[in-house]
Copies of this chain bind each other. A is one copy, B any other.
């Protein structure tokens, strides 16, 4: 194989970013096909990125012989079926999270992946591919901070996107499924362990609209993991300063903090507001390189005939945990896994 020929599905904000990345920032890959139901956007993007195939139908895309692998950035409800269909059509599959919209779907996805052991399947937990998270994980794995004591992780969307979040609330699954899944993935990845208990709280502090979906605008949970590590997660939608994803791992010998200041870049401003750093505005800005790195890893796996470290089972497990957190939040009870 000279280059991995990729068909990318979905041209929303992240889909477009993935398409542009594959077109110009991924080695040994070629963006050969695009698929979206929005025909004008499809045509415009295909032209701009010099993509040779355009499809408004997913089935046609996976029937295309010129495509080796698909990247799924479609609506969450389609993921499970598209994963199975693409694998059955002989394609390698990279799918954005979630694996499925419930645990039963995740299990279906597992079966589809198990049925195609020769294909590469990878799930988009992009934070693992962020340079800072990777660097911190290497240190933890090397024992530099000793035994993990407390893992704390925040995911906060900016207040300025609140109208979109309110509109999407009935479909988001709630913050544990929509946002905290990334923190849950990190908690498992950094601690190498699994949760035993969870207590979850939160509420609608600024936007009562989330209550109708049994969600809050800000929520949190405290979990005890099997290796005794304490895990505290916080997810919010009302950050005034920007897109704030930060993680702290306190160990017996040291502590690591990742992005405790979600600085946009290396510029510091000294003005009438004091000495300040401006912040990342959204996930695309913050995880720009991580989105490239994860697809590069997918391509490298295909090339080198190896499997990614992130497995389909990680997707299922994270979903199970997120549903349990959601359940804990809704009932107000302490839940044991």
Contacts and interface: CB of A to CB of B under 8 A. Distances in A.
A242 B24 contact: no
Nearest to A254: B271
A286 B195 CA distance: 36
A275 B261 contact: yes
A272 interface: yes
Interface stretch (A65-73, A107-115, A229-237): A229-237
A38 interface: no
Given A131-B265, A258-B267, A275-B276, A222 B201 contact: yes
A116 interface: no
Q: How many copies does the complex hold?
A: 4
A169 B225 CA distance: 25
Contacts of A50: 2
Contact of A273 (B24, B149, B236, B276): B276
A136 interface: yes
A268 B253 CA distance: 14
A250 interface: yes
A140 B33 CA distance: 42
Residue from A254, A257, A267, A332 having most chain B Cβ neighbours under 10 A: A267
Contacts of A263: 266, 274-275
Interface of A: 2, 23-28, 50, 131-132, 135-136, 139, 145-147, 149-150, 197, 199, 201-203, 205-206, 218, 220-222, 224, 228, 230, 232, 234, 236, 238-242, 244, 250, 252-279, 332-334
